[in-house]
């Protein structure tokens, strides 16, 4: 036994003696209690200066049994060779994470990692595995001070740029050359091979808005700058032999189409001829319909005919009136906010106002944080910017992501969490290539509820490149509440899901689906109790794109859209105002209930019930839902939860002899006590394609004025109560319709973001 060991034993014995003499409560305990207390105290004392395996130490000052431990991180620290105290913080989050791994969580009530104000640049995600997990009694919390900022790549200042120089200057518009600035990305870790990979479109991030200024995504130089170009009538699908072919649906025609010739019009040919190269030019748009985004490289231009050739990517054939624009073109870098990156890795940017004090970021990391199996972790009050992939991903239980700001995310999701007891609360999420929040929780097979909550988040400007089905919030599984969120300014949809026991309530959803059609602002599908209630859904639907392409805008969007045979859902107490399309679409499902809603100013039907025909689905033995499959519809667990499910299979036998469409049944739907205002139509209800044979118990009642319903059925042109006004005073309307709609004025004013944890049951 060496001298160090002898000293340690003496210190422990001294602690035991002092504690026994000076603490009355200790002295009154029995021997077992005294021994346990002494062991705990000695453990903490020795752990305070315990060396880690890499030579560092873990500071545990002021920690007692069951108390909280605090570890500090500072971007201004010299190195990670520290003890994690406030006076000796770690330099990186990885070092703090590694220190937490060495702690026995059973000794603490919480472990807080305080990330001090500053910018932390990462080139790969911070990864957490099972050894980084907390416990249900000891959450590991990563908490940022105000101004703590994690950048997934390179963070630049205006002084890192210089004026336009070199031979490349001749490629840029003469009018902009004195305004464009440049910087060589190779100096910041970007390789030429990596840049070429992006330019060639071989990487899934090739369509990403790449540059971010103060968290706002900038625009790859494009033509036209704002408008769309309409596709002409001379577009042709070509097979693998270069022969014309026809693609009528997603499965293609007789031959698999290989390329597409799209007519754009010779009036744009002079612009195209001015481009020194078209090798890296990309085309985006809505070639056929407003519910599918198109984006690809260009194989070639025929300027004399005004036709380009692009690879066929599946989906719909281009039609006359479709929309397109080109981007990634140096000759078109002509307005503030545009940029271009050449194959040598030089970034060219046309700055806007405030550039001198801006933070400019470019992504290198494929994500910010990756939590895999690390339960009981909280991420709080951090700013994240610039990711090539999804932002924060987690596959674990008891995960909380709270009060964070996350922007400029190129991947599938800003936040993507799979697990039970998930809380995503109070975050500000914006500027994303694709979607916002996804939570997968619970289990559909057993209907085990995940008890997860998406609460009080502000989400805007998502779906910048891929839309319209990239949702602001998407939920899958069983037992999730989406409450008090605000979603706005997007071409994409707001809240969707394929799940059971989902509630979407008190959300403010507005100014979305701005370039989309035949899709809903909300649409939670399934076959067991999904509720959409007390939401304010307003200013919905395609405006600019629809006006530019009237041939493509045929179906209309909807505030609430139950698509693909979704059934057993309920919508009540919602306020729906100004929709370029329908208030509610019930598309082929049964036992859908729409009651007590206030619906104002829809350009199409206020409620549309549709009997969709899915011949192939019927042959497969289920109703054609794209979300819930036969194993669930026939599941004893599901049937026990919802005995009405058995009627779905029975519905399949209710076909009309000789009917070639094999319509799905739409029985048990109820439309009751909704108050509507009309600005265009005097008709509120359409049952397009619905055979009377399939409808049961449909009731329509507006403001006490009952509509006669013969045999429980309605024809296509039923006239409902019409209280036409040039301008609607919502507060007055709430008073007038108080006995009809299922929400009051006070509760309506609590919809959206709230300052506290207040919420209605």
Sign of the four-CA dihedral 333, 336, 338, 342: positive
pLDDT attached to residue 50: 29
What mean pLDDT comes out for the span 338-356?
A: 92
> Residue 181, by phi and psi: left (phi above 0), alpha (psi -120 to 50) or beta?
beta
pLDDT attached to residue 56: 39
The pLDDT of residue 228 is above 50? yes
pLDDT attached to residue 693: 31
Confidence at 707, pLDDT banded by 50, 70, 90 = very low
Burial class (CB in 10 A: 0-12, 13-18, 19+), 706: exposed
User: Residue 636: phi, psi to the nearest 5?
Assistant: -60, -35
Confidence at 180, pLDDT banded by 50, 70, 90 = very high
Least confident of 425-429, 467-471, 492-496: 467-471
Give pLDDT tens digits for 554-592. 677 899 998 877 888 999 999 999 888 888 888 777 788
The pLDDT of residue 47 is above 50? no
What lies within 8 Å, CB to CB, of 130 at 6+ separation is 372, 373, 374
The pLDDT of residue 36 is above 60? no
Q: Is the pTM of this model over 0.85?
A: no
pLDDT attached to residue 205: 42
Higher pLDDT, 318 or 237: 318
pLDDT attached to residue 680: 45
What mean pLDDT comes out for the span 209-236?
A: 87
The pLDDT of residue 646 is above 70? yes
Cα–Cα distance measured from residue 62 to residue 48, given in angstroms and rounded to the nearest whole number: 10
Least confident of 105-119, 226-240, 433-447: 226-240
| Three-state secondary-structure class, residue 596 | coil
User: Residue 187: phi, psi to the nearest 5?
Assistant: -70, -10
For residues 278 and 299, is the Cβ–Cβ distance under 8 A?
Answer: no
CA distances to 77, 208, 222, 286, 309 from 280, in Å: 43, 14, 12, 20, 14
What mean pLDDT comes out for the span 27-45?
A: 30
What mean pLDDT comes out for the span 210-233?
A: 89
CA distances to 338, 376, 630 from 385, in Å: 19, 24, 42
pLDDT attached to residue 675: 78
User: Residue 179: phi, psi to the nearest 5?
Assistant: -110, -25
| Three-state secondary-structure class, residue 277 | coil
pLDDT attached to residue 266: 94
pLDDT attached to residue 544: 63
| Three-state secondary-structure class, residue 281 | coil
> Residue 419, by phi and psi: left (phi above 0), alpha (psi -120 to 50) or beta?
left
Least confident of 114-123, 165-174, 529-538: 165-174
Give pLDDT tens digits for 113-132. 999 999 999 999 999 999 99
pLDDT attached to residue 30: 35
What mean pLDDT comes out for the span 162-178?
A: 91
Higher pLDDT, 127 or 528: 127
Cα–Cα distance measured from residue 177 to residue 314, given in angstroms and rounded to the nearest whole number: 40
The one-character DSSP state at 29 is S
The pLDDT of residue 48 is above 50? no
User: Residue 581: phi, psi to the nearest 5?
Assistant: 155, -130
The pLDDT of residue 73 is above 70? yes
Q: What angle do CA 32, 36, 38 make, to 5 degrees?
A: 115
Higher pLDDT, 738 or 198: 738
User: Residue 528: phi, psi to the nearest 5?
Assistant: -140, 105
Cα–Cα distance measured from residue 690 to residue 587, given in angstroms and rounded to the nearest whole number: 10
Percent of the chain scoring above 90 in pLDDT: 44
Exposure string for 516-546, b = 16+ CB within 10 A, e = fewer = bbbbbbbbbbbbbebbbbbbbbbbbbbeebb
Closest CA to 497 of 516, 482, 485, 487: 482
CB atoms within 10 A of CB 566: 26
**Strand ranges of the sheet holding 360-363, from the earlier edge strand across to the other edge:** 153-156, 360-363, 212-213, 216-217
Closest CA to 427 of 439, 419, 418: 439
What mean pLDDT comes out for the span 622-634?
A: 52
The pLDDT of residue 698 is above 60? no
For residues 200 and 296, is the Cβ–Cβ distance under 8 A?
Answer: no
CA distances to 55, 192, 584, 601 from 680, in Å: 75, 57, 16, 8
Cα–Cα distance measured from residue 339 to residue 318, given in angstroms and rounded to the nearest whole number: 29
Confidence at 135, pLDDT banded by 50, 70, 90 = very high
Exposure string for 206-218, b = 16+ CB within 10 A, e = fewer = bbbbbbbbebbbb
pLDDT attached to residue 79: 92
* Tokens matching residue 69: 């431990």
What mean pLDDT comes out for the span 408-413?
A: 91
Confidence at 650, pLDDT banded by 50, 70, 90 = low
Most confident region among 376-390, 548-562, 587-601 by mean pLDDT: 376-390
What mean pLDDT comes out for the span 320-338?
A: 93
User: Residue 144: phi, psi to the nearest 5?
Assistant: -90, 140
The pLDDT of residue 651 is above 90? no
Cα–Cα distance measured from residue 106 to residue 40, given in angstroms and rounded to the nearest whole number: 11
The pLDDT of residue 165 is above 60? yes
CA distances to 65, 162, 182, 195 from 172, in Å: 66, 15, 12, 19
Q: What angle do CA 498, 504, 505 make, to 5 degrees?
A: 175
Give pLDDT tens digits for 457-471. 999 999 988 778 899
Least confident of 228-242, 534-548, 549-563, 665-679: 665-679
pLDDT attached to residue 761: 40
* Tokens matching residue 561: 């859209």
The pLDDT of residue 607 is above 80? no
Percent of the chain scoring above 70 in pLDDT: 72
pLDDT attached to residue 64: 44
| Three-state secondary-structure class, residue 229 | strand
pLDDT attached to residue 701: 35
Cα–Cα distance measured from residue 724 to residue 739, given in angstroms and rounded to the nearest whole number: 19
pLDDT attached to residue 547: 66
The CA-to-CA distance between both ends of the chain, in Å, stands at: 66
Cα–Cα distance measured from residue 83 to residue 702, given in angstroms and rounded to the nearest whole number: 69
The pLDDT of residue 711 is above 60? no
Averaged confidence pLDDT in the chain: 78
Burial class (CB in 10 A: 0-12, 13-18, 19+), 187: exposed
Confidence at 507, pLDDT banded by 50, 70, 90 = very high
Give pLDDT tens digits for 333-345. 999 999 998 888 8
Most confident region among 56-60, 292-296, 501-505 by mean pLDDT: 501-505
pLDDT attached to residue 733: 82
Confidence at 599, pLDDT banded by 50, 70, 90 = confident
Higher pLDDT, 615 or 197: 197
Query: Rg (Cα) of the chain, in Å, rounded?
Result: 30
Confidence at 82, pLDDT banded by 50, 70, 90 = very high
Least confident of 8-17, 134-143, 408-417, 677-686: 8-17
């Amino acid at each position: 036994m060496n001298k160090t060991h002898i000293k340690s034993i003496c210190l422990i014995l001294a602690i035991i003696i002092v504690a026994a003499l000076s603490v009355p409560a200790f002295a009154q305990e029995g021997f077992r209690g005294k021994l346990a207390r002494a062991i705990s105290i000695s453990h903490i004392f020795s752990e305070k200066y315990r060396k880690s395996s890499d030579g560092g130490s873990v500071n545990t000052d002021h920690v007692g049994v069951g108390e909280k431990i605090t570890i500090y991180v500072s971007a201004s620290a010299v190195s990670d060779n520290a003890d994690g105290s406030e006076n000796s913080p770690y330099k990186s989050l990885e070092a703090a994470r590694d220190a937490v791994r060495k702690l026995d969580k059973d000794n603490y009530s919480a472990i807080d990692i305080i990330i001090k104000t500053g910018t932390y640049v990462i080139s790969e995600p911070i990864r957490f595995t099972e050894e980084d997990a907390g416990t249900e009694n000891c959450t590991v919390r990563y908490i940022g001070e105000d101004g703590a900022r994690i950048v997934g790549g390179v963070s630049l200042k205006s002084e890192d740029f210089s004026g336009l120089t070199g031979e490349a200057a001749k490629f840029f518009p003469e009018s902009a050359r004195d305004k464009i600035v440049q910087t060589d990305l190779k100096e910041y870790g970007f390789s030429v091979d990596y840049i070429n990979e992006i330019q060639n479109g071989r990487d899934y991030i090739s369509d990403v808005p790449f540059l971010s200024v103060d968290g706002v995504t900038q625009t790859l130089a494009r033509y036209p700058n704002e408008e769309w170009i309409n596709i002409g009538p001379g577009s042709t699908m070509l097979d693998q032999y270069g022969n014309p072919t026809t693609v009528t649906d997603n499965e293609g025609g007789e031959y698999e189409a290989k390329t597409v010739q799209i007519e754009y019009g010779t009036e744009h040919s002079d612009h195209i001829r001015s481009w020194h190269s078209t090798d890296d030019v990309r085309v985006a748009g809505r070639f056929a319909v407003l519910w599918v985004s198109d984006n690809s490289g260009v194989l070639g231009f025929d300027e004399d005919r005004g036709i380009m050739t692009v690879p066929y990517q599946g989906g719909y054939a281009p039609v006359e009136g479709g929309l397109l624009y080109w981007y990634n073109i140096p000759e078109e870098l002509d307005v503030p906010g545009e940029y271009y990156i050449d194959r040598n890795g030089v970034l060219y940017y046309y700055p806007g106002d405030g550039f001198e004090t801006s933070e400019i970021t470019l992504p290198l990391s494929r994500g910010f944080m990756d939590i895999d199996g690390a339960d009981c972790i909280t991420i709080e009050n951090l700013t994240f910017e610039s990711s090539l992939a999804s932002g924060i991903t987690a596959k674990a239980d008891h995960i909380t992501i709270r009060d964070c700001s996350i922007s400029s995310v190129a991947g599938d999701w800003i936040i993507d969490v799979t697990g039970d007891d998930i809380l995503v609360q109070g975050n500000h999420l914006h500027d994303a290539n694709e979607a916002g929040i996804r939570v997968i929780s619970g289990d559909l097979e057993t209907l085990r509820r995940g008890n997860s909550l998406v609460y009080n988040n502000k989400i805007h400007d998502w779906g910048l490149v891929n839309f319209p089905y990239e949702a602001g919030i998407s939920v899958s599984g069983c037992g999730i509440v989406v409450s008090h969120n605000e979603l706005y300014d997007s071409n994409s949809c707001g809240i969707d899901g394929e799940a059971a026991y989902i509630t979407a309530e008190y959300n403010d959803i507005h100014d979305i689906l701005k370039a989309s059609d035949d899709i809903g602002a909300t649409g939670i599908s399934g076959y067991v109790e999904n509720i959409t209630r007390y939401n304010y859904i307003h200013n919905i639907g395609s405006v600019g794109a629809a006006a530019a392409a009237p041939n493509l805008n045929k179906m209309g969007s909807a505030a609430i859209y139950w698509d693909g045979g979704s059934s057993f859902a309920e919508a009540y107490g919602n306020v729906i105002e100004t929709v370029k399309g329908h208030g509610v679409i019930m598309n082929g499902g049964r036992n859908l209930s729409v009651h007590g809603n206030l619906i104002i100013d829809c350009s199409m039907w206020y409620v549309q019930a549709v009997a969709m025909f899915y011949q192939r689905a019927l042959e497969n033995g289920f109703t054609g839902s794209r979300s819930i499959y036969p194993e669930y519809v026939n599941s004893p667990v599901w049937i026990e939860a919802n005995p009405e499910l058995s009627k779905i299979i029975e519905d399949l036998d209710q076909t009309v002899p000789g009917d070639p469409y094999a319509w799905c049944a739409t029985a048990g739907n109820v439309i009751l006590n909704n108050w509507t205002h009309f600005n265009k139509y005097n008709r509120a209800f359409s049952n397009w394609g619905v055979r009377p044979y399939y409808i049961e118990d449909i009731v329509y009642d507006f403001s006490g004025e009952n509509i006669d319903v013969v045999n429980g059925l309605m024809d296509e042109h039923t006239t409902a109560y019409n209280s036409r006004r040039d301008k609607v005073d919502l507060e007055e309307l709430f008073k007038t319709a108080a006995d009809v709609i299922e929400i009051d004025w006070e509760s309506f004013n609590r919809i959206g973001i709230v300052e506290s944890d207040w919420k209605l049951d």
